[in-house]
Chain A
Amino acid sequence: MGKAVGSEKLGNLYSGGKVRKRREWRGLKDTLYDYWRWLKIMKMLAGFLMHPHNLKGMFRYRWMLNYIAVPAMIDKHTVGLRGNHLKIAHEEYDLVAKDVAQLLNTAFKADKYCGNDQELSKRIVVLDENEMFTIMCGFPNLKSISWETAAVYVAVLLHGDAVTHYLDVLQEMGVPGDVCPMPAAEAGVVIDGDMPVFGACAIQCNTTCDGSLMGNGIMARAYEREGIPVFQIAAPLRHLEEGVQEYAAQEIRNAIRFIEENTGHKWDWDNYFTCMKRFNEETQHRVSWMEMSRTDFPQVIGANLALYSETTYMAIAGRVQDFLEADRRISKLAKESFERKEILVPEYRHRAIIWGVQSQYYTDFLPWLQNCWGILPLVDMLSLVYFDKVSEDDKEQAIYDIAKLYQEMIMRNRTHGGYEVLLDDLWRFCEYYNADMVILWEHISCKALDGMHGLFEERAREHGIKLIWVNHDLMDPRVIGRQAIRDDVNRYMRSVMQEEPIDPSLEILDDENAW
Chain B
Amino acid sequence: MKDLKHLYYFEQLLEEADNELIREAQEAGRKCVGAICYQTPEVLMDLDDVFTVRLRAPRSGSLEMSTYYMTSFLCEYSRAILERAIEGGYNFLDAMIVPDGCTMVNRCVENMELLNTLNKEGVFYKYLEVPMKADENGLNLYVSECRTKILGALKEHFGADVSDEALKRAVERYNKVCRLITEIGNYRKEDNPRITGYEFHIICMATYVAPKDLLIDKLEETLEELKTREPDENPKYRARVVVAGSEIDDVDLIKLVEDSGALVVADRFCFGSLPGRVEIPLNDNEDILTQICRHFLYMNQCPRHMNLEKVHGRKEYIADIAKEYKADGVIFEQMKFCDPWAYEHVTGAFDLREKYGYPVLTIDRPYAVGTSGQLRTRVQAFVESVEIKKLQGGEK
A-side residues, CB < 8 A to B, are 173-176, 178-180, 187, 204, 206, 209-211, 213-218, 220-221, 224, 230, 232, 234, 236-238, 241, 243-244, 246-247, 250-251, 254, 415-416, 418-419, 423, 442, 444-445, 447-448, 450-455
Contacts and interface: CB of A to CB of B under 8 A. Distances in A.
Contacts of A176: 334, 336-337, 342, 364
A203 to B, nearest CB: 12
The dominant DSSP class at the B interface is helix
Interface string B94-136: 0000001011101110110011000000000001010111000
A210 B339 contact: yes
A418 B107 CA distance: 8
Given A175-B342, A209-B339, A232-B306, A447 B129 contact: no
B333 interface: no
10 pairs of A and B residues whose beta carbons are closest in the complex:
A451-B107, A454-B69, A214-B343, A210-B339, A247-B141, A450-B71, A234-B132, A174-B346, A237-B100, A250-B137
Interface residues of B, number: 51
Contacts of B131: 234, 247
Nearest to B148: A243
Nearest to A453: B71
B71 A175 contact: no
A220 B362 contact: no
A175 B348 CA distance: 12
A217 B343 CA distance: 9
B308 A445 contact: no
B107 A447 contact: yes
Given A218-B343, A221-B311, A454 B129 contact: no
B74 interface: yes
Contacts, number: 155
B326 interface: no
Interface in B323-354: 334, 336-337, 339-340, 342-347, 349-350
A175 B343 contact: yes
B304 A210 contact: yes
Nearest to A208: B103
A213 B132 contact: yes
Contact of A244 (B133, B141, B303, B344): B141
Contacts of B19: none
Interface of B: 68-71, 73-74, 78, 100, 102-104, 106-108, 110-111, 114-115, 127, 129, 131-133, 137-138, 140-141, 144-145, 148, 303-304, 306-308, 311, 334, 336-337, 339-340, 342-347, 349-350, 362, 364
17 contacts: A174-B349, A174-B362, A175-B346, A179-B339, A217-B303, A217-B306, A220-B308, A234-B138, A238-B129, A241-B129, A247-B129, A247-B140, A442-B71, A447-B339, A451-B103, A452-B70, A455-B114
Contacts of B346: 173-175
B100 A453 contact: no
A209 B103 contact: yes
A442 B70 CA distance: 12
Contact of B74 (A187, A216, A419, A450): A450
A418 B110 contact: yes
Contacts of A237: 100, 129
B201 to A, nearest CB: 25
Contacts of B308: 220-221, 224, 230, 232
A368 to B, nearest CB: 25
Contacts of B311: 217, 220-221
A174 B132 contact: no
Contacts of B350: 173
A451 B343 contact: no
Contacts of B347: 217-218, 221
Nearest to A448: B103
B227 to A, nearest CB: 42
A204 B306 contact: yes
A236 B106 CA distance: 14
Nearest to A235: B132
Contacts of A455: 69, 111, 114-115
Given A176-B364, A206-B306, A220-B308, A450 B342 contact: no
Contacts of B137: 247, 250-251, 254
A232 B111 CA distance: 31
B141 A444 contact: no
Q: Which of B102, B311, B343 has the most CB of A within 10 A?
A: B343
A246 B336 CA distance: 36
Contacts of A418: 100, 110, 127
A179 B100 CA distance: 19
B221 to A, nearest CB: 42
Contact of B304 (A213, A220, A224): A213
B144 A448 contact: no
Contact of A214 (B107, B108, B337, B342): B342
Contacts of A216: 306
A460 to B, nearest CB: 14
A254 B137 CA distance: 9
A454 B69 CA distance: 4
A129 to B, nearest CB: 16
Contacts of A232: 132-133, 306-308
Given A232-B306, A243-B148, A444 B73 contact: yes
Nearest to A247: B141
A238 B127 contact: yes
A289 to B, nearest CB: 32
A210 B103 contact: yes
Contacts of B132: 206, 213, 232, 234
Nearest to B128: A238
Nearest to A230: B308
A179 B343 contact: yes
Contacts of A210: 102-103, 304, 339-340
Nearest to A446: B73
Nearest to B113: A419
A213 B71 contact: no
A416 B99 CA distance: 13
Contacts of A241: 129
Nearest to A415: B103
Contacts of A173: 346, 350
B108 A451 contact: yes
Nearest to B73: A450
Nearest to A248: B141
Contacts of B306: 204, 206, 213, 216-217, 220, 232, 234
